[in-house]
Structure 1
Amino acid sequence: MGHLITLATCSLNQWALDFQGNLERIIASIAIAKQRGATLRVGPELEIPGYGCLDHFLEGDTVLHSWEVLAKILASEVTMDIVCDIGMPVMHKNVIYNCRIIVHNKQILLIRPKMWLANDGNYRELRFFTPWSKQQQWEDHFLPRIIQAVTMQTKVPFGDAVVSTIDTCIGVELCEELFTPASPHILMGLDGVEIFTNSSGSHHELRKLRTRMELIKEATLKLGGIYLYANQQGCDGDRLYYDGCAMIAANGRIIAQGSQFSLNDVEVVTATIDIEDVRSHRAKSSRSMQAAAAARYHRIEVPFALSGGKFETVKDEDMVGFGNQVFDVRLHTPEEEIALGPACWLWDYLRRSRTQGFFIPLSGGIDSCATAVIVYSMCRQVAEAAARADKQVIADARRITGEPEDSSYIPSDPREFAHRIFHTCYMGTENSSVETRRRAKQLADAIGSYHTDLNMDTVVTAVRNLFAFVTGAKPQFRAHGGSAAENLALQNIQARLRMVLAYMFAQLLPWVRGKVGGLLVLGSANVDESLRGYLTKYDCSSADINPIGSISKTDLKRFIAYARDAFDLPILSSFLEAVPTAELEPITETYVQADEADMGVTYDELSVFGRLRKVDKCGPYSTFTKLVHEWGSFLSPLEIAEKVKHFFFEYARNRHKMTTLTPAYHAESYSPDDNRFDMRPFLYPSHFPWQFKKIDDIAAVLPDRSHKGPSADKAKKE
C-alpha cells in the first residue's frame, strides 16, 4: 500500500426548488466527507435545484438561484482542501446545459456539461437541456458577477475535459452516460483517467438495482479504475422515488455501498483505496496498445494531491478495496423493496405536504390491505429512525402529530404512531360481506390505525331515489332483472360515493379528534387493474396519491406474504386466501362477484400483457405471435387470439381512465400512467379491425399444440 486516497460519494434527499434545504444538505455532506478524511466528494445530479424541477429548468430564476447557492458554497470554508463535484443547470451562450461544477479551494476548476441525455420513460431531459455534442472539446465560460466576486475568476473551462491532480486524474460521467453503449468513461480511462465520478438522478423500480450495480462494476472491470456513484434519494415532488444506494467500485468490484431506502436526508459513503491498484490492474498489453492510440483529453491541472504524498497505512476498519477482500453487496428482494420504497416515498410526501396523516377506505381486499401495510411499514421505519435518535425524523413526527417542538414525544412504537397519523374506514353497503368487514377491522387493530366503520346504504339509496324521481325510471341490479347498463350504473354509484365520503372524512377526522389540518387520501388501485381499466373513474381509486398504483397484483400478494411474517401480522393470511371481489353487486345463491371473472383475464395474464405492450413495445398482432410460442402448450391459437383481442379491446376502451389516474409511486416498467411515462392516445379504434383480422387469419391456420385440440385427441387414440 502506497498512495492511499479516501473518496466520498453521497445520497441526498433533495427537493425541487428547495434551494435553502438543498444548500444545507450539500454543505452537510461535504462536511461529513472532510471529517472522514476524504479529498474528493461527489453529489447527486442537479443537486442544487433538485432533479425534479421539470419545466422550471426553463426559467431564468432556477439558473440564477443555482448560481446564488453555489456562491454561498464557494464563499464558505467547506471546499477548502477537498475537490467537490456539484450539480446544477448552467446557461452557456444562451443554451441551458445539465452540468457538473468541479470546485476546489473556493475556485471553479471545470464545468462539465452532460453529453447524453435521458429522454424516455419517466425522463424528458431534452425538453429542458441541450446535450454537449463537442466530445473532448472545451471552451471558455464567462462567470456571472456573483461568482466572480467570490472566486476572482472571470472565466473557466466549459466542456468535455478532465481534472488532473498531482497524483491522479479525475473524469466526470453523468447518469445516463453510464447506460449508453459508448460511455465516456471508456475513452477517459484509456487516456489515463483513474477516478470516475457519476452523479445520478436514478429512480427506483422493482428489481432495477441489480442492473445499475452490474453496469457500475462493468465500467471498471475491463478498463480498471475507481468509480464513485452518487444518487438522489427520496421523493423530489413527483411520482418517482430516488432510491439512493451510493456506491464505490474498484476494478470491477463494489467496495462500498450506502442504503437503498432510508429516511436520512444526508448519507455519505466513503472508502480508502490505493491508487496503485488501478495501475497494476491496467498493466495489460492489449489495454496498453489501445491506450497508446487513444485521443487526448484536455487536462485541467490543480496543484493538489488526493493522497498524502508519502507511504501510509490505514486502520483495519477503513481497509476497503485492497487485495482480495470481499465486500458483501446488499440487494433487497422485491417484497422488501415494496415494503421500503413506497413507505419512504409516503414519509417524504407526508412531511413535505404539511398534512397530518393519511386516510384510506379499507375494503377488506388485498389492494387496500397492501396499501395499509405499506403505511405501517413507514411507521416502523419512523420508529427505527427515532430509536437511532434521528433529529430530523423526530422533529417531523412531532410536527405531524401536533406535538410541540420542545415536547418529549418520541415515535418509538409503530402502532402508537400509526394510531396518531393513519385513519382507515370500512364503507359497507348491503352488498358487502361479513368477512370483508371483519378483515378490515382486524387489520386496523393489528397495525394500530384509527378505524371507523359505516354503512352507506342510505346515501346510495338517496342517489338512486333522486334519479328515479327525476326520470321516472328506477334502475335495478342484474340479479333483480336489470339491464347491463343499470347494473353497471348502480355499481358505480357505490364506488363514486366512497370517494366523496373519503374526502369528507379526511378533511374532518382530525377536527373530530381535536386536531387541526387534514389528511392525505390514499388510493389503492394496482397496476394491472389500471392497465385493464378495471376501476370506476372518480371512484375511491381517485385520491391524492397511490403507493401501489405501479405494482402488480402478483407482487402485492408476495409482499403481503412477506409482511405477514416480517411484521408479525398473522391476519394477513386471511387476505391472501380471499377471492378478490369488488362487492358492488348483490350476492345470490348462484352468483358471487369476482374480479378475475369480471375482467375476463387473470392477474398473472395482465402482467404478461402489460410487459408485452409497454416494455417489449408490442401491438395486438405482435402480442399474439409471441404468446403463441409462450402459451401454445396449454392454449390453442384460437383461445390465445380471443384473449389477446379481449385484452386490447378492454384496454383501449378504458384508456381514458388513465388521464385521471391518481399520481402513483412508480415501481414497475409497464405502468400505464398517462402522465409522461406511458404516452399513448386515450381514444382508440377499440375493435382494431385491421389488427384483429390479421390475428384471426393466422390463428385459423396455426396447428394446435395445447394437447386438447382434435389433433391431440387423435394422437392419444393412436
Structure 2
Amino acid sequence: MGHLITVATCSLNQWALDFKGNLERTLKSIRIAKQRGATLRIGPELELTGYGCADHFLEGDTYLHSWEVLGQILGDKETEGILLDLGMPVMHKNVKYNCRVIVLNGKILLIRPKMFMANDGNYRELRWFTPWGKHRVTEEYFLPRMIQKVTGQKTVPFGDAVISTHDSCIGVEMCEELFTPNSPHIGLSLDGVEIITNSSGSHHELRKLQTRVDLIKEATLKSGGIYLYANQKGCDGDRLYYDGCAMIVVNGQVVAQGAQFSIGDVEVVTATIDLEDVRAFRTNCSRGIQASTAPSFRRIEADHALSDGRLEDNPAVRPTTLKPIFYHTPEEEISLGPACWLWDYLRRSKTSGFFLPLSGGIDSCATATIVASMCRLVVKSCGQGDEQTIADARHVAGETAESGYIPTDPQEFAHRIFHTCYMGTKNSSGETRARAKELAETIGSYHVDLNMDTVVAAMQMLFSLVTGKTANFRAHGGSNVENLALQNIQARLRMVIAYVFAQLLPWVRGRPGSLLVLGSANVDECLRGYFTKYDCSSADINPIGGISKSDLRRFIAYAQLSFNMPILESFLDATPTAELEPITETYVQSDEVDMGMTYDELTEFGRLRKVQKCGPYSMFTKLVHLWSDRLEVAEIAVKVKRFFFYYSINRHKMTTLTPAYHAESYSPDDNRFDLRPFLYNASWAWQFEKIDRTVLVIQKEQAELKKD
C-alpha cells in the first residue's frame, strides 16, 4: 500500500495589518486541514501580517504583533498534531527577514528566512527585508520572552535547514525563489527532501497563471517530489489582486488545484499522496550520481509522522488522482479578478456601494459589467452558505443580521449597492443616453439621468464676466486652445457632480454612508494621457485602469453571451467618442482620430516601452519589422514620435492617476509600478533625429531594391 500522507495548502484572503482577522483565518485553515486528515499544512507568504504591509515592515510594532499572533497559534490546542508552515517577518541580530516559521505541537522547529527577494515590477522586498545569504547554514535565534513562556524554548534554529519527520523530509522554498535560475528546490531534491513547500504572494495579471504553473510543475518534473504551493488571495489593501490558485504537484503532475478567483476568505486544498511514488520516480542513475555528491542540509528532527498507518491498512483509501490544469480565458479573468477586487475594497472600506458615471461608451460599460459580475459572485457565494459573504453583503446593503436578508438575485443586490448616472450635455447623443439607460436597467443599478448644460454655461459665463472673452468650439470658429478648454470644462464638472451624487444619493435613499466613485479610463488611454486631469477619470478606484481597450472589447463580447446581456452588442458597435465637441453634419468626435493612433497600436507601444524596455529608437526599429506589411517606414516613424511626444507631455497625469486594478504588464502607474520621470524633454531631439536618419537609409535601400 505504500506510505500514504495527506497534506494541505491554503489560499487566504489576508489583509495588511489586520492581525485579528489574519489570525482567525489562519486558525480556520488549520482546523479545516485537520478535519480532512492533513498532517502538514502550509499558508501564504507573510500570512500573519498580510503581504502588502509595505513600509509598515520597517516598524517595530509589526514584528511585535506578529509574535503575539504566533503565540496565540502556539498556545492553541487545536493546532496540535499537525506540522505547520507559517509566514511572518522576524528580526535577527537587528536585521529584518521575511520568514517561514515551522511549528509542531506548540514548539518552533525552525525559522527559515527568505534567500532571494522579489524586487522589480510591483515588488520592493529589498526595501524592507534582507535576503539570507548563508546557504545551508543555521544560527541560534533567541526567542522573545513572550514566546519562551509558551514553548519553553529559549533558542531555535534560524537559517537554511530542512525538517526530518519519522517518514519523510520537508524543505522550504519561498515565492521568488521558485523563479530564480538556481532555485533551492534543486539542491533540496538532490539531498533527499521529498516534500517542498512554497508560500507565495503572487498577484494576478492577465495571462500570467500559465507561467507560474509551468514553473511549479517544472520544480518536480526532473527531480521528483511533492510540491505544495500556497498563495495569498484578495486585494490586501492595494492595487494588486492576489489570485490564489493553491496547488499540489507530485512528480511534475498536478493532483489538486484551488480556485484562482473567489470571494471566500479561506480555501484549503488537500490531497492524499503515496511517498513511494516519489521514491520510485527518483530511481534514475544520473540523478543518483548527482545526489550522491550533493552538499547536505542540516536536518531538524521532528517527532512526527506524516503518514498514517490506518490509511495504509484501509484498501478504500487511495492516493488523489491527477487533475487536468484549469485555466480561465482572458475574458473570464477580466470578469472575475477585478470583480473580486471590487468586493474586497467595498466590504473593507465600510462604504454603502459604488457610484459610476455611465457615459454610454464601452469603458464605463465594462466597469458596470464588472460590478454586475461582482454581484453575481456575491449571490453565488451566499447561495453556497458562506457566512462571511452573507455578513458582508448585509452590512453593505444596510441590513442587520436580524433582518435575515440574503442576496438571491444579482439585479436586486445591484439596485441596493450600485448607482449609475448619465451626465449629458448638448454635445451628447441620444444613442449614448439610451444605451446607458438600458444597460443600467439590465444590471439593476439605481440610475440617474441628468443634463448639465446649465452648470457648463455658468462656468463659461463666469469666465466671460471676468475676462471679457468668450471661448468657442472649433466647429463654431474657435481655436484649438478654446476647443480643448471647453471640452475640459465638461469633463471636470462631471468629476465634481460625481462626488456630489456619491455623497448624497445614499441620503436621498434613506441610507447612511457614502459611495465609492468608480473610474473607467483604460490602460491605453492612461499610457498616452488621453484624458482630462481631474475629470471623471479621477475617482476612488478604477477596475479597468490596467486593462487594454482590445481586451475590454473581448470581455464585453464574452459577457454579452455569458451574462445574457444583449444590450452589450450595441456598445461593441459604437465608435469610441468622448462626446465633448458639438456634433455636426460632417463631424463626430472620434477617440482614435483625436489620438492619431488606434487602440491596438497603443497596446503595442505600451508593451514595447515597458515589457521590452524600448526607447523611441529601438521601438521604431522593432515596429519596422512588425508593421512593414501595412505601413510605410515613414508612417511608422511618425506614429512612434507622436506616441512618445504625447506620452511625455502627459506623463504628469500619472502622478494623480486613480488607483487601478493591476492587470497588465505595461501599466503606466507612476512610482508604483512604472518608475519613470514625469517631466520630460518632449522633443526627444537626439532620438527622433536618429529615427529620421534611419528612415532615409531604409527608404534609399527600398528604392534600390525596386530598381533591381
TM range (shorter): over 0.9
* Counterpart pick for 1:551 among 547, 570, 576: 547
* Per-residue deviation, 1:309: 4.4
Q: State which of 478, 483, 500 in structure 2 corresponds to 1:482.
A: 478
Following the alignment from structure 2 to structure 1, what is the Cα–Cα distance between the partners of residues 415 and 5? 49
Report the more deviating stretch, 668-677 or 416-425: 668-677
Residue aligned with 1:394, SS: helix
Number of the residue aligned with 2:43: 43
Aligned with 2:401: secondary structure?
A: coil
Query: Deviations 1:356-399 (Å, cap 9, x if unpaired)?
Result: 00000000000000000000000000010111111111111111
Letter in 2 for 1:633: D
Q: Output the CA distance in 2 between the equivalents of 1:454 and 1:319.
A: 63
Normalising by structure 2, report the TM-score: 0.99
2:166 is the counterpart of 1:166:
yes
Indicate conservation of the 8 Å contact 1:365/1:436, yes or no. yes
Which residue in 1 is equivalent to 2:240? Answer: 240
**Which of 542, 560, 571 is the equivalent residue of 1:564?**
560
Take 1:649 and 1:190, find their aligned partners in 2: how far apart are those partners? 54
Letter paired with 2:540: D
2:59 is matched with 59
Letter in structure 2 aligned against 1:19: F
Partner residue, 2:29:
29
Q: What residue number does 2:202 align with? A: 202
Which residue of the partner structure matches residue 133 of structure 1? 133
Q: Which residue of 2 aligns with 1:90?
A: 90
* 1:452 alignment counterpart: 448
One-letter code of the match for 1:156?
A: V
Alignment correspondent of 2:579: 583
Contact residue 12 and residue 26 of structure 2 kept, 8 A? yes
1:229 and 2:229 are equivalent in the alignment: yes
Give yes or no for the alignment of 1:103 onto 2:103: yes
Do the aligned partners of 1:2 and 1:311 also contact (CA within 8 Å) in 2? Answer: no
Match of 2:655 among 630, 636, 659: 659
Aligned to 2:211: 211
8 A Cα contact 2:274 2:319, kept in partner: no
- Deviation per residue, 1:181-200 (Å, 9 max, x gap): 00001001100100000000
Aligned residue-pair number: 708
Q: 2:9–2:43: 8 Å Cα contact kept in structure 1?
A: yes
2:123 paired with 1:123 = yes
Give how far 1:285 is off: 0.4
Q: What SS is found at the alignment partner of 2:112?
A: strand
Q: Where does residue 638 of structure 1 map in the other structure?
A: 634
Aligned residue for 1:520? Answer: 516
Kindly state the Cα deviation for residue 319 of structure 1 after the two structures are TM-superposed: 3.1
Matched residue SS, 1:230: strand
Q: CA deviation at 1:126?
A: 0.4
| Displacement of 1:513 | 0.4
Q: Write the distance in 2 (CA, Å) between the matches of 1:690 and 1:599.
A: 24
> For the residues of structure 2 that align with 1:2 and 1:45, how far apart are their CA atoms?
32
Q: Deviations over 1:501-544 (max 9, x none)?
A: 00000000000001110000000000000001000000000000
Q: Distance in 1 between matches of 2:276 and 2:403?
A: 53
Q: Distance in 2 between matches of 1:316 and 1:372?
A: 50
What residue ranges of structure 1 are gaps of 5+ in the alignment?
none
Contact kept? 1:89, 1:97, Cα under 8 Å: yes
CA distance in 1, matches of 2:367, 2:696: 44
- Are positions 1:302 and 2:302 aligned together? yes
Tell me the distance in 1 between the aligned counterparts of 2:640 and 2:204. Answer: 30
Please state if 1:2 is matched with 2:37: no
Name the CA distance, whole Å, in 2 between partners of 1:636 and 1:594.
24
Which segment is superposed worse, 77-86 or 63-72?
77-86
- Structure 1 residues 370 and 311, CA gap change in structure 2 (3 angstroms): closer
Separation of aligned partners in 2, 1:316 and 1:679: 57
Structure 1 contact 338–559 (Cα < 8 Å) conserved: yes
| Counterpart residue number, 1:689 | 685
- Deviation at 1:318? 5.9
What is the Cα deviation at residue 78 of structure 1? 2.6
Aligned equivalents of 2:12, 2:327: Cα separation in 1 = 20
| Residues 299 and 604 of structure 1, relative CA distance in 2, 3 Å threshold | same
Identity of aligned residues (%): 72
Distance 1:152 1:635 in 2: 75
CA distance in 2, matches of 1:317, 1:704: 75
Q: C-alpha separation between the residues in 2 aligned to 1:304 and 1:206?
A: 41
Give the AA of the match of 1:565: L
Q: Residues 541 and 659 of structure 2 are in contact (CA less than 8 Å); yes or no, is this contact kept in structure 1? A: yes
Deviations 1:460-491 (A, max 9, x none): 00000000000111111011111111100000
Pairs within 5 Å for 1:457-536: 457-536=453-532
**Partner AA of 2:686 in structure 1:** W
User: How far apart, in 2, do the equivalents of 1:680 and 1:655 lie?
Assistant: 9
Shift of 1:710: 6.8
- Which AA in structure 2 matches 1:111? I
Whether 2:602 is the aligned partner of 1:606: answer yes
**SS of corresponding position for 1:702:** helix
CA distance 1:548–1:317, change in 2 (3 Å): farther
**Residue deviations 1:6-49 (CA, integer Å, cap 9, x gap):** 00000000000000000000000000000000000000000001
Check if 1:250 corresponds to 2:250: yes
CA positional deviation for 1:310: 6.8
Moved more, 309-318 or 424-433: 309-318
Q: Please give the per-residue CA displacement for 1:658-703, whole angstroms capped at 9, x wherever unaligned.
A: 0000000000000001142000000001110000000110111114
Q: 1:497 to 1:29 in 2, by over 3 A?
A: same
Indicate if the aligned counterparts of 2:4 and 2:319 stay in contact, CA closer than 8 A: no
| Counterpart in the other structure of 1:390 | 386
The amino acid that maps onto 1:113 is P
Equivalent residue, structure 1, for 2:70: 70
Runs of 4+ in 1 over 4 A off after TM superposition: 313-318, 709-715
Residue 364 to residue 284, structure 1, CA distance change in 2 (3 Å): same
Separation in 2, partners of 1:547, 1:214: 28
Instruction: Decide whether the 8 Å contact of 1:13 with 1:234 is kept in 2.
Output: yes
Amino acid at match of 1:366: I
Which residue identity lines up with residue 446 of structure 1 in the other structure?
T
The amino acid across from 2:33 in the alignment is A
CA distance in 2 between partners of 1:714 and 1:537 (Å):
52
CA contact (8 A) 2:311 2:317 kept: no
- Alpha-carbon contact 1:355-1:517 (below 8 Å) kept: yes
Task: Report the Cα offset of residue 404 of structure 1.
Answer: 1.2
RMSD: 1.3
Output the amino acid matched with 1:276: E
Aligned-partner SS, 1:423: strand
Q: Distance in 2 between matches of 1:587 and 1:310?
A: 79
Which digits, 9 at most, give the CA deviation of each residue in 1:237-257, with x for residues without a partner?
000000001000000011100
Q: 1:300 to 1:567 in 2, by over 3 A?
A: same
Q: Is the 8 A contact 2:654 2:669 kept in 1?
A: yes
Does the 8 Å CA contact 1:363/1:427 hold for their aligned counterparts?
yes
Report the CA distance between 1:589 and its aligned residue. Answer: 1.4
Cα distance change, pair 655–84 in 1 and its aligned pair in 2 (3 A) = same
**Secondary structure of the equivalent of 1:406?**
helix
- Distance in 2 between residues matched to 1:562 and 1:310, nearest whole Å: 49
Question: In structure 1, what residue type is equivalent to 2:263?
Answer: L
What CA distance in whole angstroms lies between the structure 2 residues aligned with 1:62 and 1:172? Answer: 23
Return closer, same or farther for 1:713/1:327 CA change in 2, 3 Å cut-off.
Answer: same
Match of 2:81 in 1: 81
* SS across alignment from 2:181: coil
Letter of the 1:110 partner, please give it: L
Residues 149 and 643 of structure 1, relative CA distance in 2, 3 Å threshold: same
SS at match of 1:68: helix
User: What residue is the counterpart of 1:264 in the other structure?
Assistant: 264
- Whole-angstrom CA distance in 1 between matches of 2:578 and 2:79: 59
Aligned pair 1:341/2:337, yes or no? yes
In structure 2, the CA distance between the partners of 1:519 and 1:67, relative to structure 1 (3 Å rule), is same
Q: Deviations over 1:180-234 (max 9, x none)?
A: 0000010011001000000000000000111100000000000100000000010
Q: Which amino acid aligns with 2:138?
A: W
